[in-house]
Amino acid sequence: MKVAFAQGHPTPLGELTGNNPHETVSDKTVSTLLLHWILMKRHALLSLAIALLLQIPAGAGSGPPRYEHRTSADPHGTGKFYMGREISRVMGHQGASWLDRPEREVEEAPEVLLDALGTLRGMTIADIGAGSGYFSFRLARRAGPGGRVLAVDIQDEMLRIIRRRAAQKSIRNVEPILGTIQDPGLSPESVDLALLVDVYHEFSHPWEMIQGIHRALKPGGRLVLVEYRAEDPEVPILRLHKMTQDQVRREISVHPLVWVETLDLLPRQHIVIFRKPSR
């Protein structure tokens, strides 16, 4: 088990008092501060011990690790870095037909991926970064009439494609949702499964997005990331559109989500599964 990215936010003593900085500090105040400090230390140690026991990293639930901006050497990069990884550009809706290319059946084995997720009947599933709905409609079939698929994307053009397809096929359990770059726009504790296929690496605000997804998951709900394998130079995908499984785990480990398993069943992608702890 790794306790990755512990992020303390050391509070300067001055802030602890919440007082005017020009105020003089009496001996009594000093002892009060000392007492606060000891209590805070105890609290931090206790949180760390609980995090270790639950396999949740210290710092989970606190502020985001920093984003850095550097000059990008990659034309597909944004120059924005998160935990050492350069965030890729978002795939524009002009590329929607690429998402529906028939070769995906062989290259990505979508039904093998969905089989690996077990029964989805009756579930509420969020397809985050749904694009043209390549997975949304497959998920809808598996969820059945008693389940529903929340197809979230930040590009309204993508959602229009999904709406048109749903109307053509008379599919009623796919609901397009226009999210923002920082918020999937889902109700708290409403989702059994959040599926992110080939999208996490292009979130401009990965910490905020996963925080929003975590909030939307029911206790015990799953987060599944599917990313092209960066460990494998044979996978013919642009560098910034691939991720190593270590990097995926490191980035998710700053949230209160527990890694369950990584499945390497697909020709080119990892399936990395996390769970929100049950209450």
Ligand X SMILES: C[S@@+](CC[C@H](N)C(=O)[O-])C[C@H]1O[C@@H](n2cnc3c(N)ncnc32)[C@H](O)[C@@H]1O
Q: Is 165 in contact with 133 (CB distance < 8 Å)?
A: yes
User: Minimal distance in Å, beta carbon 39 to ligand X?
Assistant: 39
Specify which residues 176 forms β-bridges with. Answer: 151
Is 58 or 230 the residue whose CB approaches ligand X more closely? 230
Residues that bind ligand X (CB under 6 A): 90-91, 99, 128-131, 134-135, 152-155, 158, 179, 181, 197-199, 202-203, 209
Residue whose entry in the numeric block shows the structure tokens 């501060």: 33
Amino acid identity for residue 14 in this structure: G
Query: Which is closer to ligand X, CB of 131 or CB of 147?
Result: 131
Nearer to ligand X, 199 or 224 (CB): 199
CB-wise, 56 or 130, nearer to ligand X?
Answer: 130
Residues 6+ apart with CB under 8 A from 167: none
The answer to whether residues 129 and 153 touch, using CB atoms and an 8 Å cutoff, is yes
CB 188 to ligand X: min, Å: 17
Cα(89)–Cα(238) distance, integer angstroms: 11
Minimum CB distance to ligand X, residue 273 (Å): 16
CA distance 2 to 254: 11
Least CB distance from residue 227 to ligand X, whole Å?
11
Decide whether 17 or 185 has the Cβ nearer to ligand X. 185
Shortest separation between residue 2's beta carbon and ligand X, angstroms: 26
* 237-183-208-13 Cα dihedral, nearest 10 degrees: 170
Closest CA to 109 of 135, 142, 129: 135
